[in-house]
């Protein structure tokens, strides 16, 4: 479904963004990132995020494309409570290739990623929150079924979150992405197999 931004709010608005026929077109600012401490020793909370408030369980789906060229260029979906409690997932460019990437931050960040070797244009992400868990799935425009990427713990006491598109370019400015659709509904299912 086309993106409706009426009840959504920017965290760190990008220097360039526009809505065009229900699609969100964006260009990142210089050296933007979302990360807390682990391994690299820094704290970054200047990545771009457009969030819709949500309480309780839900399923969010988003489809996007990006012009990934530089190390850590990234676009995808974010679930955020505050600067130290969030999850982002989607495509991240590293080692010269697109990877499906998930970062979960509960005080400190962790990172999991796997290389996507097949060609594709658009990536879709689905995140379902059920109680203390985020179930993260993905598919490309060349795949018919959803595939599981991760089942992550997310503090159930953090009932109120924001959910929506996120993107960053830690090494540069001017990363361009296009978010084609976004939906936020009740949880689709607890089934993971």
What is the predicted pLDDT for the residue at 83? 98
Residues 123 and 140: their CA atoms lie apart, in Å, by 4
Band (pLDDT 50/70/90 cuts) for residue 57 is very high
pLDDT at residue 63, rounded to an integer: 98
Task: For domain 9-185, say whether CATH 2.60.120.200 is its number.
Answer: yes
Q: Where residue 2 falls among pLDDT bands split at 50, 70, 90?
A: confident
128 in Cβ contact with 109 (< 8 Å): no
- pLDDT tens, residue by residue, 58-101: 999 999 999 999 999 999 999 999 999 999 999 999 999 999 99
Is the distance from CB of 158 to CB of 84 less than 8 angstroms? no
Q: Please say if the pLDDT value at position 189 is more than 90.
A: no
For range 140-147, the mean pLDDT: 92
Cβ atoms within 10 A of the Cβ of 45, count?
18
- Give the mean model confidence (pLDDT) for residues 112-136: 97
28 backbone dihedrals φ, ψ, rounded to 5°: -80, 155
pTM exceeds 0.85, yes or no? yes
- Residues 175, 167: contact at Cβ < 8 Å? yes
Residues contacting 6, CB < 8 A, separation 6+: none
4-25: per-residue pLDDT in tens? Answer: 999 999 999 999 999 999 999 9
Spatial CA neighbour of 90 closest among 130, 38, 34: 34
The pLDDT score that the predictor gives to residue 193 is 62
């Amino acid at each position: 479904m086309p993106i409706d931004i009426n009840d959504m709010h920017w965290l760190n608005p990008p220097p360039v963004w526009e809505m065009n026929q229900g699609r969100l077109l964006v260009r990142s600012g210089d050296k933007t990132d979302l990360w807390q401490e682990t391994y690299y020793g820094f704290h970054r909370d200047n990545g771009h995020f457009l969030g819709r408030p949500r309480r309780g369980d839900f399923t969010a789906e988003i489809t996007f494309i990006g012009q990934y060229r530089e190390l850590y260029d990234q676009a995808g979906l974010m679930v955020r409570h505050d600067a130290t409690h969030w999850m982002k997932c989607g495509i991240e460019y590293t080692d010269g290739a697109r990877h499906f990437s998930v970062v979960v931050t509960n005080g400190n960040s962790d990172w999991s990623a796997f290389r996507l070797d097949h060609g594709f244009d658009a990536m879709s992400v689905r995140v379902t929150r059920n109680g203390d868990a985020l179930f993260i799935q993905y598919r490309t425009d060349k795949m018919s079924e959803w595939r599981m990427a991760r089942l992550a713990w997310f503090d159930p006491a953090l009932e109120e979150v924001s959910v929506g598109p996120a993107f960053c370019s830690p090494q540069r400015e001017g990363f361009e992405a296009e978010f084609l659709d976004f939906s936020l509904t009740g949880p689709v299912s607890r089934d993971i197999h």
